[in-house]
Structure 1
Amino acid sequence: MALHTYMPTAESISCLQRVEDTNDASVQNHELLIEVFEGTMKLKDIQDFPNDIYVDDIVVTAKSVSNSSLQWLIQKLQDRIILSTLRRLVVNDANKSRYSLEYLDKDETIVGHLVKGIDAYIKLSHGWSIFGSPLKLISIKGLDILKKNSASFHCEVENLANSLDTHTRQNIPGFVDAVENVLKDQLQLDPRAADGSG
């Protein structure tokens, strides 16, 4: 089955006004192989080509809901294709900043690769980037000095980052900048960090 998903226009979604290459992604084309149990229309499995969108959770739901129709399934898949494509576009656009950013579709997470080998894991709220909901720092990893610090240090960094104003937490480059600044400030305040850097 050929599935053509038409992307929303830049004018209809606020986040796309900051993304330059939306015209290249106006239509997303996928091929679906839908398997059903013999003699029924009960869903057995779905494969999508290209396999660039996480659909396992939709498949599991479709299998468990006895009255889910093909129309329902296609709508859910297209919603996911739109959301994932928009997120990738926004992350790719933000990659033009000084950070390297990676979008993990399955986990709905962005990994910001900061200086000195530090990774900031940022959880996307449901509907981001279509809706202007705030991003949330869920963990920081990497750098030996971070490993030596206590769980309370990590919690403090996460709490400070997540208590920033909503506008800062809606924008990827701005939020990653802010996370890095919070981290620097906390490393300077933490005596073990000071010992480790000397």
Structure 2
Amino acid sequence: MSTQGTGTRRLRGDERKAQIIDVASRLIAERGYWGVSLQDIAGRCGISDTAVLHHFGSKEKLLLAVVQHRDETDRVALADRLGVARDDLYDAIPGMLLADVCDAMVARNAAQPEIVRLYALLSAEALQPVHPVHDYFYEREQRAIRTYASARCDLDLEPHARARLVLATMDGVQLRWLRDPENLDLVAEWQAASRVLFGTDDAAR
């Protein structure tokens, strides 16, 4: 779908909402939430800011729609990479190796640096209690910790402490990659870190 507002075909409501979410995602990934206005988003879409408000009600609700859409898209993609149905993903992970879940997530992220940048920026901004998605990101992280804690792993740590360590390592590797994507291979960097975390064979992972 084109994200330009200069096309000759008038977009249906669902198409327009998808366009606005796509444009908002890219602009926020570049500038952060506070650096983007409704006018910026509307201008890229070729519509008025009133039209954006018609679909989402407020800038805060648009941001929530952006992260919810991205989370759902990633859930579907992760389930596909792990060979399970989308609705079965969280029930299936406790039977999987944590290293395999991490590998699938990193492979997914390597293909979408713009989205990883979006989440890196929002995650940092949302440390502020007044940020519109502060609570959303807190709950999202707690859910990720519970999910990672449920997967199989022989690391000699309490499951939730283990999950926090693995997530922190993934976040660190991804930040280094975002700073120097031309010279760093995310998958290769993660594999090196994974060998240290989980060991070199499946039994140790």
Q: Same fold (TM over 0.5)?
A: no
Normalised TM-score (structure 1): 0.34
Larger RCO: 1 or 2 (CA < 8 Å, sep 6+): 2
For normalisation by structure 2, the TM-score amounts to: 0.33
| Bigger radius of gyration | 1
Query: Per residue, is there more helix in 1 or in 2?
Result: 2
